[in-house]
Structure 1
Amino acid sequence: MDSFNRENSAWCITDGSAGMVSQVKGLALAMKLDYTLKEVKLNFPWNILPVGIVPILSSAFSNLFDFKKTNPPKFIITCGRKSVYLSLFLKRKYKNKVVTIHIQNPKSKFDEFDAIISPKHDKIDLPNSYTTNLAINHISENLIKSEMEKFSDVISFDDRPICLVLLGGQSNNYKFDEVELERLIERIKNIKKNQEIRFFFLFSRRTEKKIIDKINTEFNKSDIVWSDTKSNPYLALLGFSKYIICTSDSVSMISEAIVSMKSVYVFRLSSVKSKNRIEDFNDFISSAGLVRKLENKLNEFKHDYINETAIIASKLRNKFK
């Protein structure tokens, strides 16, 4: 990035997780920016503490050399807790030379960001904040079509419609143990009794091995349990599938499924918290008709979701000309 148009460039910074990368990348693409994906790496104790408890020093970062530029890009787009530290550090260093945009709730120092984009369930209403119903993401019709072409010779087809099953994992908000898995397996088996559908299972990096092994045991002979770690047909299957089932633990995963404009069903895991913001998100998208609760039959349905990523990107472009 030694020769670049600074005014039209961005660093997109996350902890490397797929959901967060999708969000920063999606915003940069929608803003028509030349972007570089970067990963922040924190030292102890910053890597375990919430923002605001200890000062943000250069020693907080083990890879600060990745961000040393006399002429940085105009836009710093970040997502997630770890990147909050770096966004604040870079803003204090470069001041008005950079525009900092944070995706998700930074939970601290709200007024030090030029813009904050957060989902409705975070309940942030500030002069510099923008609210979305779904998570910002990089999913588009053209991207899905391109991936479908790549995997058209890899994925075998028959007369049965495809249902993509996206499995998350145990988290601070949800249980995903053997009991929850048995509930999901029973639900899918009931659907298979009622309908001729081919299920295609994909896993997130949080999915435990015992969950993957059990799904393999139950469905590997009759359906497709993807195990090739060198290629990922996820985006292609957003296009090939007629139905999508998501576990309820990932806002990003569910949002991307909705944006594909397919019929999305959510399997509600048991919450481990009495106040769970992701439950608020799942309640909202259900009441808005964007998804349906997973029962014993799948029906095709339509919704009128409008791409919020493009709308927010346009507002930010106009504000920070």
Structure 2
Amino acid sequence: MGAGRRDRGVTPIPSPSPLSIWVVSDGRAGIENQALGLAEAVKRLTPAEITIKHIRWRPVFDRLPSALKTAAMLDPASDPIAAPWPDLWIATGRATLPLSTRVKTWSAGKTFVVQTQDPRWANHRYDMIIAPAHDGLSGDNVFEITGSPHRITAERIAEVAPAFADRIAPLPHPRVAVLIGGKSKAFDLPAEHAADLADRIAA
């Protein structure tokens, strides 16, 4: 009873707020998944709320250099980029660079800015760059990884594996899965090239 009276004056320590994470891209799956995969990896380590932001520039401004673009030039169909700012900003793709390089200022230093891939512009203005080793990028703010960030986990594989069981079961062991990006503005992956890659991997 006495202990109960003493406890009445104790103020509970509030739980820390979840980390606020924005995943910013132009919405293309191969681009967005890199930033989203990284955000999901962070969320597995600490409580976090992930918000996906798709942005694009008005056509008349799209080809301007990143240094000349401002948020006012965003297409009205873009998701809003405005306060309250996130704790963690994770972005991928050329379209996000004009925003990634400014969000630290807009947030008065609150937001930690992460850019995946090699930005190839103003690299010193990001808190961290997550770059694939094959880009050969170096710097105090560069974290080099093999390949690209992605959303594949052991749990996700186990969840979807039954849907492919009949197709996978006849395949010989050992089995190797390789994910290769498809056609883009800069690169092509014709069917014959894909088949050749498969044969070389199998060999």
Which bracket does the TM-score occupy, shorter chain normalised? 0.7 to 0.9
* Structure 2 portions without partners, runs of 5+: 1-15
1:102 maps to 2:115: yes
Q: State the match for 1:77 in structure 2.
A: 90
- Structure 1 residues 233-264: Cα deviation after superposition (integer angstroms, max 9, x where no partner): xxxxxxxxxxxxxxxxxxxxxxxxxxxxxxxx
Q: State the match for 1:38 in structure 2.
A: 53
Q: State the match for 2:202 in structure 1.
A: 298
- Contact 2:117 2:132 (8 Å CA) reproduced: yes
Distance in 1, Cα, partners of 2:34 & 2:168:
34
Q: State the match for 1:14 in structure 2.
A: 25
1:26 maps to 2:40: no
Count of matched residue positions in the alignment of Structure 1 and Structure 2: 179
- Contact 1:99 1:114 (8 Å CA) reproduced: yes
**Pair 1:182–1:173, CA change in 2 (3 A):** closer
**Pair 1:158–1:61, CA change in 2 (3 A):** closer
- Contact 1:119 1:133 (8 Å CA) reproduced: yes
What are the equivalent positions in structure 2 for 1:181-220 lying under 5 Å apart?
Answer: 181-182=191-192
- State the shift of 1:115 in Å: 1.0
- State the shift of 1:104 in Å: 0.9
- Structure 1 residues 149-200: Cα deviation after superposition (integer angstroms, max 9, x where no partner): 5x36xx6458622887977226423463xxxx34656x5xxxxxxxxxxxxx
**Pair 1:175–1:92, CA change in 2 (3 A):** same
Identity of aligned residues (%): 21
Moved over 6 A (4+): 162-167
TM (normalized to structure 2)? 0.73
**Pair 1:141–1:183, CA change in 2 (3 A):** closer
Distance in 2, Cα, partners of 1:169 & 1:121:
19
**Pair 1:6–1:78, CA change in 2 (3 A):** farther
- Contact 2:132 2:145 (8 Å CA) reproduced: yes
What are the equivalent positions in structure 2 for 1:203-282 lying under 5 Å apart?
Answer: 267=197
**Pair 1:68–1:80, CA change in 2 (3 A):** same
Q: State the match for 2:63 in structure 1.
A: 48
1:173 maps to 2:187: yes
What is the one-letter code of the residue matched to 1:105?
Answer: D
Distance in 1, Cα, partners of 2:62 & 2:202:
43
- Contact 1:7 1:73 (8 Å CA) reproduced: no
- Contact 1:51 1:84 (8 Å CA) reproduced: yes
Q: State the match for 1:260 in structure 2.
A: none
Distance in 2, Cα, partners of 1:158 & 1:111:
46
- State the shift of 1:60 in Å: 1.9
Q: State the match for 2:170 in structure 1.
A: 160
**Pair 1:36–1:170, CA change in 2 (3 A):** closer
Q: Structure 1 residues 103-112 or 155-164, which shifts more?
A: 155-164
Q: CA RMSD in A?
A: 3.0
Secondary structure of 1:147's partner? helix
**Pair 1:45–1:122, CA change in 2 (3 A):** farther
What is the one-letter code of the residue matched to 1:41?
Answer: R
**Pair 1:30–1:59, CA change in 2 (3 A):** same
1:147 maps to 2:171: no
- Contact 2:113 2:127 (8 Å CA) reproduced: yes
- State the shift of 1:120 in Å: 1.7
Q: Indicate the structure (1 or 2) with the bigger Cα radius of gyration.
A: 2
Q: State the match for 1:122 in structure 2.
A: 135
Distance in 1, Cα, partners of 2:86 & 2:160:
30
